[in-house]
Structure 1
Amino acid sequence: MIRVLIADDQALIRIGLRVLIETEDDLEVVGEATDGKETLELARRLRPDVVLMDIQMPGIDGLAALRDIVADPVLTTTRVIMLTTFQIDEYIFTALRDGASSFLVKDAEPDEVLRAIRVVAEGGSLLSPSVTRRVIGEFARRVPVGPHRRLSGLTEREREIVGLVSEGLSNDEIAAHLVVSPATVRTHVGRAMVKLGARDRAQLVVIAYQSGLVR
């Protein structure tokens, strides 16, 4: 059972998400929060698998709560999906850089919401090629930081695969492109994440854009 915490200051959004999630046999809503402070308190107490959290909330906003969740050793297995009103939001890049596993537009289709929860709960990230290029690419290039300090530790194959991950390709698609097995791709992705200190694939994508591995 995937345990979900919903955080949004709009009651209508929380109700809609709860109704949607609780129709699924493998998903469960364990709590609701209306601001960042309450989100963090509930996350520490309930230890959810996934937090669906609005970026803009009163008091402590979603970005501040995200950073606290990511930094808390008790919540190392909790993944965060940020909710936003617009596909292109200046805060999305910051959220992905700071540890969000994915983001959803609030008017996303129900199937997309459910899929995102399941993918993120399994340790993946839901970043389509179009979203990757439009959002991460745009904002990472606006604030270039140069190559990651551990980038030199990657092998040539790992650098190549990180670049393909950043283009939105799945492990199976990368395997087909390179004519290797999906297991080999998973191994390379895992090693690259460890070397670069990336929490998940979403952060790996951010690092790749900022380091110039994607053109």
Structure 2
Amino acid sequence: MRNIKYPPMETTRFETFFDAILAIIITILVLKIPQPSSPTPEALFSLKTNYIAYLISFLTLFNIWHSNHKLLHEIDIIDNMTLWIYGTMIFVITLLPYFTKWIASNIYSIPSQTMFGLIFIITHVLISLATRNIYKSNPYNPKLLELNNQSKYEHFPIIILIIGFILTYTVYTPGIYLCCLITVILWILIDILIKRDYNGN
């Protein structure tokens, strides 16, 4: 049997597909938020866990979109290995609405906390792998060489998430939920720091 090698994919074609997937996931996320049981501030406030869980998941998806757009803007094609990594990431993040709803309804459940945290850890690892593979596949791209200064910040979110797991399994069950919120904010701050370093070069 011949070993068939598929050609790389144009970046713009992949971005269109990826953006559509993210838009669908965000739409499902907002539809998962229940309406207040009555038109009162108390009923609205009783859903605060749902709103915070939605905010965490939305900001996560937005950060994925923003970082990928910034990265893929500098290249014309992506290789098959990067496509497989992104394909795995798409599979993982499509589970986000399910586990967002689960943790919002069971904030003091260790299994729901665990699955929510695992989604974040796996997504972060896959983003790192995809980014590294793109850098490796384009070693002479000057723009990527300038952008490739994320390594000194990239482990901070994982450290925060590990702290969340420790809290959840010891003294504070919603620890992962809280640390996921901190992680998303940290991702935004990291992007600002990278942009500052990039503009300072």
Q: TM-score, normalised by structure 2?
A: 0.31
> Who wins on radius of gyration, i.e. which is larger?
2
More strand by share: 1
More helix by share: 2
Q: TM-score, normalised by structure 1?
A: 0.30
